[in-house]
Every structure is written in C-alpha cells, then in structure tokens.
Structure 1
Amino acid sequence: MIHTLGVGDHEAQAHPVMSTISRKLFFLTASLQVLVLAITLGLLERSQARQWEEHLHTQAQAFARLATPELLRFFRGTFPPSQQPPPGELRELLAFNQDLVQFSLHAPSGRLLYASPLLWEQAAFVVDDLLAVDPGVRLQQPRVSVKPLELADGERFVDLIHPAFGPTGEHVLSVRYLISYAGTRSLQAATRADYLRIALIAVLTSLVLAALMARWVSRPVRQLTAGARALARGESPQRLQLRGRDEIGALARAFNDMATSLADKHRELVEKNAALAAANQDLRQMQDSLVRAEKLAAIGQLAAGVSHEIDNPVGIILGYAELLREEFPAGDPRREDVEVIIRECQRCRRITGGLLGFARSQPSRLERLDLNGLAAETQGSLSVQKLFREIAWTTCLAPEPLLVAGDADKLKQVLINLLLNAAQALGGQGEIRLELRRAGDYAEILVGDNGPGIAPADLERVFEPFYSTKERGQGTGLGLAVCRKLVEEHGGQVSTSGAADGGALFRVLLPLAGEEKYFDIGDDNSIA
C-alpha cells in the first residue's frame, strides 16, 4: 500500500545528523561568497588607495602653484640662512597644507639657497635625511616634477619641484616641497576600517544566506534519501510531497512514479511467486520420479557394464575351445570336457553377450596410438573365432600412421562391437570391409558389410540403448550405444548409412593427435 511521506517524517528521520550535501553546499557557498567579497573589497581598497595618492599629488601641485609666487615675494633677492624660520605671514600661508614637512629654494644650477626647518612637528625623521636625497637634474627642468620618496624607516613623502620664473620669463630658481603621506595614510586607514566593517557585515549576511540556501536544497534531498532507504529496506513504497517545478520537484515526481511501479511489480511478483511455488512442488515430484528412474537405470547400466567386460574374454575362450575341440577325435574323453566348456561359454554368452557397459564411467588413459596397428590386432583376434571363419575380409589400412590420443582398450572395444555387429548381420557368411584413412584433421574408420543392411527408419535408432534389429535372444541393443558413447568420449563421432552393395556401413571419425604432451605416454613425448 502506498502512503504519503510528509516533511515532518523526513525531518525526524534525517534530523540527527546534517546531511553531507547540506554541509558541502553550505561551506562551498559560504567560501565562495567570502572569497568574492574579499577579492572585491581588496580591489576596492587598492583602487581607493591609489585615488587618495593621486589626490595627494594633485593637491600638492595645486598648493605649489599657489605658494610659489608668495615665496618669491618674501625672498626678493635675499635668502636668510637655512633652518631660519620663515616669516609669520608665510607660515600662515604654508599652514594651508598640513602635510607640508619642509620647503627649500634652489638655484637652477642646483645650489641650495634656503632650507626651512621642520614645518610638521610630529614628523619623526631628520631633515638632513630628506635633504640628502639628491633631486639631480630635476632642479634644472623648467616644469613641475613630482616624485615619491621612501626613507629607510618606511616613511613616504612627495618630492615636488616647482620652477619659478622672472618677469622676463627666465628660470630664476626652483622651489622644492616635501609633503608627507601621513594625512593620506590616515584617510586610507579610515577607508580600510570602513571596508572591514562592510566586509564583516557582508560575510555574516552571506553565511546566513548560505545556511538558508543549503537548508532549502538539502531538505528535499533528505526526503528523497529517506524514501530511497525505505525502499531499500523493503518497506512499502512512499510518495513524496514536493510541489516544486525545479529539478528536485521533477526528481520527486519520478520517485513517486517509481514507487507506484514498484508496488505494481511487487504484486506481480507475489502472484508469480505463488505460481512458481506450485510449479516447484510439481517439479519436486517429477524429480523424485526421475531419481528413482535414474537409480534403476544405474543398476541396469552397472549390470550391462559387468556383462560386457565378461563377454569379450568369454568369446575368446569360446573360440580357442572350438579350435581345441577340432584336435580331439570323437570318443576321446577330453573332447567331451572341451564340449562342456563350449556349452557353458555359449550359455554365458547368451546371458551376457548382449549386455554392454553403456553407463560405465571409468577414466580414460590417453596415449598416442596408431589406429592401423590397433585395427590389425583386433582383426587378428576376431578372425580365429567360429563366427568369422567363413567371412571374407577386405582390409585397407592407411599408408601413413594414424596417430590419435585415446584409450586403446576402449577404441578396441569400438572396433570389436562394429565387427561383431557386421558378422552377426551376415550370419557368419559374407564380406566385411575394414578401411582406415585420413580425412582432414580426423582419422576415419569404415566398417561395411554386404548383408541385409539397415532400414532407413532405423539408421538413427540403432544407436539408442536397448534398441536392436536382431532376433530375440541374439542381443541386448547396447553394442552400438556403447560405441557412440566411447567415440564421443574421444572427441569423435560415429554414424551409419547404407552401403553401395546393399549392406550397412559404419563411419567413425576420431581427431588426429597433434604434438601435445601427454602425462602417460613414452619418454620421447612426455611432460612427466
């Protein structure tokens, strides 16, 4: 069931600790605002300081234009000794510029004519230090010259030289004014204090605005976080009451749509889970039936495997026993014993001859072997048996060795089963063709006969377990199934088709062995 998650619920869930995004947003916004304010006020303060200095220079030049003619009027051709105070009226004139520290009169050649004492009693410096600063060629220039000076103790002054001209326009002398930056520094300090007060107020205001903005942004984010965590805990989907038209409002609407969709999906999953539970119960019942059937099949396969392992040596014993019987004449008591052996072997073969180890899962011992030699050996062991005495063999081995990686016993079993199947189809009389050749990357074994052949409908079924085209009692239908299983274990395939002369033709393909190293072969190609 979908219910509404109000602001108070979200606040209760997210209130103990301020969200990380809120802190980040607050510090980022506040830091950015403080940085912008600091840069702005710093630039304003520097600009204001330059304006005060320019104002000082302009004021100094205006004062020099006003005071220079008056100085010439008081010093008409006579110059009192240096450090002698100027007349009272002159001092009143000079008092208009409270930053004036000293003035001096110089000839155009640079010779000092008069130097006043300190006019600013609060100055903590020596007049000789200022007079020691050589104005150089500036005294000889017929124009106003302004140059800032800075003493070793950090005091700054304006060194202003104003030329004075006679009635005929000649350059008669130059007046040097030394004006202190003290007044300007006071104004700059006052301006800086005002800027600091403004900066403090602006920073406090910025922090408050940053906190409000962080809260305004983080509050809906906390609601979204609480809703997402509720979904993660598996609780019922929760709807958010965020009515904004911005990106957060769009995100809230998307979240509500997701919650609704999850509720629908949850109901569908509950219904499907119930259906799956019922299907699982049916599968369990089927599994129990399959397990029981598999157990029965395993028992049957075990019996077939044991029967197959017994069948081959019994057949060989039977063959040699038949040969031995031919050596004893009738009436010889030993012949009767051999016939007993033959009868018992025949009875054993009737019991076990058709049962093969279809489900045997013994591990294969891979080794490099030549199929030509294996086929020749198998043919030699079978040709002496009674079933093969009247069989005409046509054998065509490959001109080069056909090396495969396989288990000799299992591959020999495949050949024996195919050849026995052909001999039984011929009824002991006919022709069997055994051909081995190379087919690309595979070794090809062909076993054919000129017997009655296999019906087209039975070409695929002959490899099914317990399916046999032989008469009742002559086989169990496992021989060809075992052949397919063993061939596929070696990475090959087996198939059957009709022969050109009307019989059956079985084709076996086995992958040729490359230069791989094997653990269980000879020392010349082993990694052991």
Structure 2
Amino acid sequence: MGALVTTEDQLKERIKELTCLYNVSSYIANCNLYDLEPTFKAIAASLKAAILYTEEAFVEMKLGNELVHAGQRLQDQVFILSAIKVFNLPYGSIKIGYPKSKFNENVFLEEEKQLLKTLASEIGNLIERKQIIDKEELTKRQMARSDRLAILGEITAGIAHELNTPLANILGFSELLKERFAKDKDALQDLDKIMNSAIFSREVVKKLMFFSCEMPHHMELVNINPIITEAINLLKPNFSKKSIECHLQFSEEDITLRVDAIQLTQVVFNLVINAIYFSPKNGHIIVDVSNQPKELVLNISDEGKGIPREISEFIFNPFYTTKPVGEGSGLGLSVVHGIMKSHRGTIKHSFNKPKGALFTLTFPKI
C-alpha cells in the first residue's frame, strides 16, 4: 500500500497536504497563547485529514507531559515520528500511524514525512513564543512587585518615624500621671492599659521599620547553629500543643556567617511560628541549613495547605494576612522580607511536595 496510481491521485494528496499547512498556519496565527490545547487538537485533526488513508490513520502529539490524539490509537502500529524541539532542546514528538494488521512501513509517502517535520518545527516555534511571552510577563510582574514594595517601604518608613515621637510622649506622660495618681487604683489600671497599648504600637512601628530596612543592625561573624537552635527551642510549647515534630538539620556542625544575630532569630521565629500555625496536628516541619561555597541556604517547610497562587505575590506586603482577625498582624513575613533585604539576601516560597509551603532563604557570604 502507499503507491499513488494516477496523476490525479498525486494531485489530490498534494492539495490535502497544502490545505493542512494552510490550516495549521492559520491556527497558530490566531491561537490563544494562554490556552493552547484547542490549537493542538485542531493541528492533530488537520494532520490526520492530510494523510493518505485518513480513515485508518491516527495522530499522537506528545507535548511535555501532555498527550493530544486524533483517531484511534492501537497497540500494534506502524508509524513515523518527528521530534519537537524548543530552543534546540527535546520537548516532545508528533507521530502518525496505521494499524499494523493492515499496513506496513512502506505506506508512508515522502511528502508525508516532510509534512510531519514541518509541523514539528511549527509547533516548536509556537511553544518557544509562548515561553518567551510567559517569561516576559513573569519579569514584568516581578519588577512591578519590586516597585510596589519599594514605594511601600518608603511610605512605611515615613509613618514609622512620624509615630515614634507621639508614642514616646504617650509613654512618658503616662509614667508621670502614674506618679500623680499613685493612690487611685482605677486610674492606675487605665494608665496601664494606655501604656500597654502604646508599647504594642511601638512594636508595630519597629516591625514597619524592619520592613523598610530602617532598623539599625549589628553585623558580626558568628556561629549560626546555636542561634537557630535557640530560636526553635523557644517554640517548643507551640510544637507540643499541636503534636508537631520539628526536624532541624545542619550540613555542618559549625556554620559561620556574618549576620545580625537578633534579626536572624526573628527570621527563624517568624517563619517557624507561621509553619506551626498552618500545619495540621501531628505534622512535620523541617528546618534545613545548608552551608554552600558562596552562600548559606535555609529551607523551612511545613505540611499545611500551602500558599495559593493567586495570593503569592502579596504575602510579603505589610498588614496582608490570611489569618482570622485578631490572630495575625500581617507583619511577620514583611519583617522577614525587610531583614533579608538588609542582609542582601533573598526569600522565595514554593509548594512543598506533596503538600505545604517551602520558604527558601539565601544569605550571601559577604
């Protein structure tokens, strides 16, 4: 099978192939880059229609982890295949075939083999275009987020400076009033409430200053292992309440790094307290410290619900929280972000397979 007897038969096949190329070019030109599945299905169907024995043929496109079919795929088959490459790297393949019980390897026309190669190249170019656009959009979002955080940092720094003086005045005058009303218990209780509220507000201001990188820090070369261990030990009661196991692992017994020890404690404390909050009972939290030649990498993972994609770009913003009212100020992660920035480090988050969240912190060795 496979020979074209007449010139008319040959002409019909050329028309089918040219129609396929035209249709595919049209599909690609008008495709939705955010949903390519309909385009790939249309390409597969168009290719099937262009093959000599259309009714018997099947088409299979392997695109990364996805498969697209046209026609009935059988176990025993004869087929030809062309690789799909994206930026000169293997990405998938496109295959056309027939049932082995009716056809042999000689059934395929040279023109069909060339058509297959052409379509593989066109599909590769389409995927390249999508990946370029995806990367451009990701870069734009990251730049826009950095700009927003920079502006937010300037605003919060200004707010923090403006609030420091009146808060200091509230605390100072409250102390004077306590001396004046030393014998009035009700007045003293009210003054204690005022002072406690002012102290709480001052702590919020400190966190705002951490986010905006306005807090002074004392950098020194220290062994960070006991600092991280102590920060986690402070949370033992929290682990016990939910029967959570925390696995702390260091790549070396002594790891030295130039950091502000207090701020490093805050980073670990804030991230682990969040991990505890979102972890299920009897869950596991892993704190992994890896000393590498040019940087130190700190990974903190939990087994909670993870961070939904739609809110992932907001979690480092001040006052943004997914916790119920009264259970979180929304400043923990923004403080961590500010401290990492002041240490010229980075913080990223991802899904912790199979479930949960993973925060990766990188401290450069400076």
User: Fold-level match, TM-score > 0.5?
Assistant: no
Provide TM-score, normalisation by structure 1.
Answer: 0.31
Provide TM-score, normalisation by structure 2.
Answer: 0.44
